[in-house]
Chains A and B, each alone.
Chain A
Amino acid sequence: MSAILAVCEQRGGALRKVSHEVVTGARRLADALAGNVEALVLGSGAVAGSDQLGKFGADTVVTLTNVAFAAYAPEGFAQAIADRVRAGAYAAVLFPASATGKDLAPRVAARLGTGLAADVTDLAVEGGAIVAVRPIYAGKALLKVKLTGAPAVISLRPNVFTAVERPKAGAAQTVASSVAAGRVVVKEIKAAPAGALDVGEAPIVISGGRGLKEPANFKLLEDLAKAFGGRAAVGASRAVVDAGWRAHADQVGQTGKTVSPTLYIAVGISGAIQHLAGMRTSKVIVAINKDKDAPIFKVADYGIVGDLFEIVPALTDAVKKIHG
Chain B
Amino acid sequence: MPPKYQGVDFYNVDGLLSEEERAVRDTVRGWVDDHLMPIIGDAYVAGKFPRQLIPGMAELGLFGANLPEEYGCAGLNNVAYGLIMQELERGDSGVRSFASVQGALVMYPIYAFGSDDQKMKWLPPMAGGTVIGCFGLTEPDYGSNPAGMITVAKETKDGWTLNGAKMWITNGSTAQVAIIWAKIGAKDDQNSIRGFLVPTDTKGFSAKDQKGKLSLRASDTSELVLQDVHLPKDALLPKSAGLKSPLMCLTQARYGISWGAVGAAMACYDEAVSYAKNLIMFGKPIGGFQLQQARLAEMLTEITKAQLLCLQLGRLKDAGTMTPQQVSLAKRNNVSMATDIAREARRLLGANGILAEYQAMRHLANLESVYTYEGTHDVHTLVLGQEITGLSAFE
Binding site for B on A (CB under 8 A): 210, 239, 270, 272-273, 293, 295
Contacts and interface: CB of A to CB of B under 8 A. Distances in A.
Contacts of B279: 293
Contacts of B1: 210, 239, 270, 272
10 contacts: A210-B1, A239-B1, A270-B1, A272-B1, A272-B3, A273-B3, A293-B278, A293-B279, A293-B280, A295-B278
Interface string B269-285: 00000000011100000
Interface in B262-300: 278-280
A140 to B, nearest CB: 13
Contacts of B280: 293
A70 B3 CA distance: 46
A210 B357 CA distance: 14
Nearest to B3: A273
Contacts of A272: 1, 3
Contacts of A293: 278-280
Nearest to B275: A293
The majority secondary structure among interface residues of chain B is: loop
A270 B274 CA distance: 14
A295 B3 CA distance: 11
A273 B3 CA distance: 7
B349 to A, nearest CB: 12
Nearest to B279: A293
Interface of B: 1, 3, 278-280
Nearest to A272: B1
Contacts of B278: 293, 295
B192 to A, nearest CB: 56
A272 B5 CA distance: 13
B18 to A, nearest CB: 29
Nearest to B34: A242
Nearest to A270: B1
- Tell which of A210, A239, A293 has the most Cβ of chain B within 10 Å: A293
B79 to A, nearest CB: 32
Contacts of B3: 272-273
A210 B279 CA distance: 21
A240 B3 CA distance: 17
A295 B278 CA distance: 8
A272 B280 CA distance: 18
Which 5 residue pairs across A and B have the least CB separation, nearest first?
A272-B1, A270-B1, A293-B278, A293-B279, A273-B3
A231 B394 CA distance: 78
A249 B3 CA distance: 23
Contacts of A295: 278
A270 B3 CA distance: 11
B277 to A, nearest CB: 11
Nearest to A273: B3
A272 B3 CA distance: 7
Nearest to A237: B1
Given A210-B1, A239-B1, A293-B278, 7 more contacts: A270-B1, A272-B1, A272-B3, A273-B3, A293-B279, A293-B280, A295-B278
- Tell which of B1, B3, B278, B280 has the most Cβ of chain A within 10 Å: B1
A246 B280 CA distance: 33
Nearest to B1: A272
Nearest to A271: B1
A111 B63 CA distance: 53
B285 to A, nearest CB: 10
A295 B279 CA distance: 10
A294 to B, nearest CB: 9
A273 B278 CA distance: 14
A201 B247 CA distance: 67
A102 B194 CA distance: 69
A295 B1 CA distance: 9
Nearest to A210: B1
Nearest to B2: A272
A289 to B, nearest CB: 12
Contacts of A273: 3
Contacts of A270: 1
Contacts of A210: 1
A299 B1 CA distance: 16
A189 B263 CA distance: 50
B58 to A, nearest CB: 24
Nearest to A295: B278
Nearest to B352: A293
A239 B280 CA distance: 26
A22 to B, nearest CB: 36
A110 B3 CA distance: 39
A293 B3 CA distance: 14
Nearest to B285: A293
Contacts of A239: 1
A254 to B, nearest CB: 12
A295 B275 CA distance: 12
A270 B1 CA distance: 6
Nearest to A243: B38
A141 B3 CA distance: 19
B281 to A, nearest CB: 10
A167 B278 CA distance: 51
A223 B358 CA distance: 34
A288 B280 CA distance: 19
A127 B279 CA distance: 48
A305 B229 CA distance: 64
